[in-house]
Structure 1
């Protein structure tokens, strides 16, 4: 029968038929991306795929070209649940079907305790309410398309360094009101099909084996009935994780849940067959749901595909433009009028760079990409003189040579030849097992090597570097998880083989990037060879012994990058000269996937190298300097007073350049609002001083005062506040009305209903959209400490014409006026007067009202 017929089976009848070995097999994955099939009982496997900002598919190496969406902080900056639902339904779900994936590993809705967090770009916001509402919209959108979501990383997973070992020590109240809240809202409003546990400990116990979190809270209190899976390699036990309620261990590589290990736990009475079958039941229920909701995937051919359409491209561009935040617009320097410009200088390390997203699980091969420079050029037209200078380099590792390598026939790419290794473990023997063209120079091979290789194997990469018009000193960079040497024209330029320095690349398995310089001759296509072996090389003091060296069986990788040698000061001076001679200087600067990535955290909020100096100098010589910043979380801007215009552009995916140009030249009136606070300095961040793991412990000492709550509580002035964003028009807030609270009961659960209505009027000269934000303050009579303001509702009024008004009506429920009472372990609503504050940002709230909860109407509850 076709695999999708599993949708019709009675799982309660199937489970008793499982042998113990079959049940054990079902509770761990197969390979990197699949669940286990049981052909004897016609149980199919399902495939999952990474999906924070796009659906990559099976392979990091030579992956299927895919749509890369704006990162989560960018989606958060839209403050638009309807748009996020549309993204899920019209972009993510169809992309998953093209990759033959039934479940995506997204959304991420952890809280941004600090912008230093390596994966901050993957989460929506520093605020739990905004995060939860957007996560619910994302989940509902994707699942409306028949594709499952996996909300992650459950819970208190807010930094990368030491992520598999650290213990997040969080007070019960902060855990509930801040870190669990986004998950709770998504569960209440959207019901994700699956949860993914975090790597870290939560108050002493790893999340993947934490019964308090998985059983007591998620299953019993929130009534979650779906499947719980681990993060990849995020299981640290056999019986503990099974008994705690972790249904599926992922991946199936280097797994704990082998038949032998689980069998040993059964005979030692550490786990029962009954419990194993309970876990297997949840896996089967997910498989059945996938078979019901999207049978064509299970019945398909398994081939991954790419499809682009004009409608998809337009939506990608609209979403990206909707996330841009206008932070400064002195003398209305923006929008730019292309018809009045004669000379424009485009400057900055990100202007021509391929900056799609942050790094790690979010990485994918984009089906297309428009750079900021290309987007600006298209918007300006042919009659404008455009000059360009990098000015200051932004990269941490040398830029990829994806578009610089050519085969002998002149086609983009280089040739890879895979060989089995001989008895010494290092030497290739015989004819190549496979020969093919490779169109990328960052090769995270992982487990995507061709079949038929020995455990230790060789990859020879050979091509020619695209000719340069003049003699050029060129600096190469070589990073490996394994070992490699780079030869140019037969000359050894980099040896990352004989001795190695451990680094953080490739999820912590790679080396530090090693560099070498070679003189390129003008108009010459130089011969490039990289000799790679998937056996780690020795560090200082270690012997080079193939039998004792680690074999990269699931993490083999090699990366070749390069760029012309540059005099940093001369490059900066050149950029300043170009800016001085231009009508407008557009400076595009920021971070990239080297700086913000899974695996490690940032160490500073400053922009790389001489970038800050570059922006300041350009702003000083050109009064019409417009800066576009790219990062997934906040950065410091010591030059902010030197520039006229400032737009924060996050990581925007495929449509980056077009979306930036749409805003700069007024095709789109910006309506984004910051999804996190931008501080003036790192020391102003609430987690400063206790963000890092110390002896395996991270103390969430800021407690409730995360993000804007800290800035307001401590009266610290931010650079730009949470919820802030300008427009090319202006708005007035009027007519606030707050209804009296109505106590309702449904299914035995009491709730509070309050309606907040207001009018937003466009008082400017351009049509625009505006986000109204509702913040609540707790009664001054409360005996407990509360943050000064808490976001509890928001609504976006679209396309308000000049002089026109739009009414916004928003609802508040019991969670808007409640807190977690640690003494009784319940949510509690106190009696008293709650302030209602409404406006365009957390620091600008012109409308004020109140909600009065009368004595005797306060109540407490557990669950949703």
Structure 2
């Protein structure tokens, strides 16, 4: 929010009646805000869909207060019965739109410019549909591949997440459509999502789950932020003053509008006081409770006005953007080409044994395509983000059109329409494979078993798909598997096939993008945005997922994703940042320069292969995870801090420069309750993946002063005696009490530093006296004041701060 919009909004709100203020906060129907026409505030239309528009005309009429919860649930509900799946219900009879790759797939491109292009296209289609706000992107971390909405989120890493989200947001807002960054925060599963309490310790909260939001906000300033359904450390996020006022408004200086997820507010007066501005959708009971709370003085009018000012400023900003920026009719053909390009850059070549790909069949060769997904592809997930695509590339048709002349392509379904075993179809596919030069299998997870309000039951592909692939591997040595899936999957046959291409939920351009990659017209460049486990038990969140008795303990702390696999020395199926190419790259000549602002990094990247290719260079910061026998902060072995995508012609080299600022070198210090740079030696690692480090060098970093520890009667004496001045005061006091000389007292005190007991008990035992607790406490308090130490728990980082009213 610029100062001008806020100033104008303040003037407008001052002229509003109480009824108009309540209406402004409580929304209008399912998808609109309530306007105040007499004061120049129009109603805003909000639409779903981070990978394409989900607009249901029947639900956005302006002449009725549509409060039909059933209509909302129709748009988001997931069915686990594929045979009874009704796309008209699933898609909520949405208008046709371009279906781009879902965000989990787009993240595999690691391409911020591409994310901006997709955001721009989404904005153009939003404007054409009359919408001012797009409810996305979603950036909760993909903490577990079982999470039902994992396909809606970018990555397990907050840096990749924040940077890609900023690209989408800037693309949207540069064209006059506001983004709604969601779901704030720690919405990492769908189980009991309206009541589950995400219990997260402070370092993990700041270093992982909040960092993606912070980074996206700093780089793109989204017009709105949407709170999540869950509780966070005991408090509903929409009613959480610590999260909304202290962190989002205070620490990050966010000045946009904060809105609820749909029906995500349980106590509207508490939510408004906590800083949640807009309650969506309209609900009669919630509005009545807010009106009663204002009339009864429980919600001060000043707090109500603050929420209205944020909504009014958003409305004015949107109206200004729509006036300044011309509306262009969507070029749906160009948008479809963009969807194809996005998929081409985001598909990940996981395995390519003996360089089977790209395929170079000769005239007369016969290729076999297996799988119902080749003729009826699953291009997106279920729920509120589902898009009714204007057009969709059919993989089999695209393969037939792209194959060299004279090459025949035969198709076998391999299994039943719903993905289950069909012995006749399996036998027919196996028989056809015996005479095929290459076999291409389109395999997938069971359709519509996950999505909004439904976590995945396991990480398996359809059992019939696994069975057929295993049988094929026994009789054929040229097998390519193309995977359609919401998140990571386990592949028991991975070592027995020659090539694996991960497409995920790849959008409407899936068919042609895959055909171009398989036949070499496109060089794959995507890299995994999460770590793929060999088995579910290897996942960091396995033991605590999805929670019990209403609490979801984030037991792994800061060791999420590849951080966990590294620290536990677990070999993943495919590591974070992994992806193969049809060319090769070498890294050389790493140079580091340490300065007051941070670290400047330079290296040379060369394309040593025969094809033009794109390489995603990844910058990791490495640290010793902890010092032996010391209660010092733990750190990941390696953490992503930056990345860049470089396109090179064969034989071309380029000098790549990257930087780390002081914040990149910091961790969240729970004593200071702030970001702190620890002194010590760090490793700068440049890699092609988190497990493929090509260059590495070390630097010593002069960190911030070590925060003083709070001293009390139970502090071990060794820690207390390290604090300047404490020993001198203790010796003087103990010499006076015992009548011993200073030297004798020092000698008697020296062994106390090895005691594991508290300082009071240790001194009483060592000197054979019952010492004055009050006098010792004064000595320790004086030391705390001199050192600036903070008492533990003086401001709990658990969202329990009282509201500002």
Give TM class, smaller chain: 0.7 to 0.9
- Residue 768 of structure 1 is matched in structure 2 by 613
How much does 1:265 deviate?
A: 1.2
Structure 1: 5+ residue stretches without partners: 1-5, 397-565, 744-751
Query: Which residue in the other structure is 2:655 paired with?
Result: 807
Decide whether aligned partners of structure 1 residues 392 and 815 sit closer, same or farther in structure 2, where only a CA change above 3 A counts.
Answer: farther
Matched, 1:334 2:357: yes
1:251-291: CA deviations, max 9, x gaps? 12x35442x32221123322122211211111101000100
Query: 822, 829, 839: which is aligned to 2:677?
Result: 829
Residue aligning to 1:139? 169
SS at the partner of 2:508? helix
* Distance across 2 between alignment mates of 1:824 and 1:768: 46
Q: CA deviation at 1:16?
A: 1.4
- Structure-2 separation of matches of 1:394 and 1:849: 54
Structure with the bigger percentage of strand: 1
Task: Name which of 851, 856, 861 aligns with 2:699.
Answer: 851
1:354 corresponds in structure 2 to: 377
8 A contact 2:625–2:637 mirrored in 1: no
Q: Sort the Cα spacing of 1:326 and 1:780 in 2 relative to 1 into closer, same or farther, 3 A.
A: closer
So what's the TM-score if we normalise by structure 2?
0.80
Matches within 5 A, 1:149-164: 149-164=179-194
Which of 293, 314, 317 is the matching residue for 1:289? 317
Aligned to 1:112: 142
Q: For the Cα contact (< 8 Å) 2:445–2:460, is it kept in 1?
A: no
CA distance in 2: counterparts of 1:611 and 1:828, whole angstroms: 50
CA distance in 2, matches of 1:567, 1:81: 41
- Mean Cα deviation higher: 775-784 or 833-842: 775-784
Deviations 1:302-351 (A, max 9, x none): xxx98444433322211110001111111111001244462111102321
Q: Distance in 1 between matches of 2:55 and 2:621?
A: 42
Q: Distance in 2 between matches of 1:859 and 1:814?
A: 17
SS at match of 2:250: helix
Shift in alpha-carbon separation, 1:395–1:852, aligned structure 2, 3 A: farther
1:759 to 2:604 alignment: yes
Q: Which residue of 1 aligns with 2:753?
A: none
CA distance in 1, matches of 2:290, 2:461: 49
Q: Distance in 1 between matches of 2:416 and 2:561?
A: 30
Q: Show the counterpart of 2:41.
A: 43
Q: 1:256 to 1:754 in 2, by over 3 A?
A: farther
How much has 1:859 moved relative to structure 2?
9.5
> Residues 344-743 of structure 1 correspond to what in structure 2 (within 5 A)?
344-380=367-403, 383-393=406-416, 395=418, 568-591=422-445, 594-740=448-594, 742-743=595-596
Superposition map of 1:88-99 within 5 A = 88-89=119-120, 91-99=121-129
Cα distance, 1:734 vs. partner?
0.6
Q: Contact between 1:393 and 1:611, CA under 8 Å: does it hold in 2? A: no
Query: CA 1:75/1:220 → structure 2, altered by over 3 Å: closer, same or farther?
Result: same
Q: Which residue of 2 aligns with 1:267?
A: 295
Counterpart secondary structure, 1:776: strand
- What does residue 308 of structure 2 align with? 280
Q: 8 Å contact 1:347–1:388 — kept in the other structure?
A: yes
1:784 to 626, 633, 645: 633
Report the counterpart of residue 510 of structure 1 in structure 2. none
1:237 corresponds to: 267
Structure 2: where are the runs of 5+ without partners? 58-90, 709-789, 798-805
SS of residue matched to 1:607: coil
SS at match of 1:12: helix
Mapping 1:11-90, distance limit 5 Å: 11-59=9-57, 60-89=91-120
In structure 1, how many angstroms separate the alpha carbons of the residues matched to 2:35 and 2:341? 41
Choose from 190, 195, 207 the match for 1:165: 195
SS in 2 for 1:217: helix
Aligned match of 1:554: none
Residue 224 of structure 2 corresponds to 194
Q: How far did residue 22 of structure 1 move? A: 0.6
Which structure would you say has the larger Rg? Answer: 2
* Higher percent of residues as helix: 2
CA contact (8 A) 1:118 1:160 kept: yes
The equivalent of 2:727 in structure 1 is none
Q: Which digits, 9 at most, give the CA deviation of each residue in 1:538-591, with x for residues without a partner?
A: xxxxxxxxxxxxxxxxxxxxxxxxxxxx87222212111112221111101113
- Give, in whole Å, the separation in 2 of the partners of 1:296 and 1:49: 22
Name the CA shift for 1:380/1:47 in 2 (closer, same or farther; >3 Å).
Answer: same
1:856 Cα deviation (Å)? 6.2
Q: Distance in 1 between matches of 2:619 and 2:40?
A: 52
Change (3 A) 1:677 1:393: farther
Which one of 126, 133, 144 corresponds to residue 103 of structure 1? 133
Deviation at 1:24, TM superposition (A): 0.3
Go from structure 1 to structure 2 and tell me whether the alpha carbon gap of 1:857 and 1:378 turns closer, same or farther (over 3 Å shift): farther
Q: How far apart in 1 are the matches of 2:421 and 2:618?
A: 48
Change (3 A) 1:732 1:27: same
Aligned CA RMSD, in angstroms, stands at 2.4
Equivalent residues, number: 671
Q: CA deviation at 1:795?
A: 0.8
Match of 1:729, SS? coil
CA distance in 2, matches of 1:9, 1:849: 51
How far 1:648 moved relative to its partner? 0.5
Q: Retained in 2: the 8 A contact 1:778–1:786?
A: yes
The 8 Å contact of residues 531 and 575 in structure 2, kept in 1 or not, is answered as yes
Residues 255 and 134 from structure 1, CA distance in 2 versus in 1: closer, same or farther, beyond 3 angstroms?
Answer: farther
Name the stretch that deviates more: 772-781 or 782-791.
772-781
8 Å contact kept, 2:679–2:702 = yes
Distance 1:855 1:205 in 2: 35
For the 8 Å contact 1:775–1:790, the answer to whether it is kept is: yes
Taking the aligned partners of 1:821 and 1:634, their CA distance within structure 2 comes to 32
Q: d(CA) in 2 for partners of 1:838 and 1:343?
A: 43
Deviation at 1:147, TM superposition (A): 1.2
Q: 1:309 to 1:39 in 2, by over 3 A?
A: closer
Distance 2:524 2:195 in 1: 42
d(CA) in 2 for partners of 1:285, 1:85: 25
For residue 614 of structure 1, report the CA deviation from its aligned partner.
1.1
Match of residue 496 from structure 1: none
Aligned with 1:653: secondary structure? Answer: coil
Matches of 1:763 and 1:296, distance apart in 2: 48
Q: Name whichever of 378-387 and 107-116 sits farther off.
A: 378-387
1:538 corresponds to = none
Whole-Å separation in 2 of the counterparts to 1:133 and 1:772 = 15
Any idea what SS the aligned residue of 1:850 has? strand
| Alignment CA distance shift 1:145-1:338 (3 Å) | farther
Match of 1:439 in 2: none
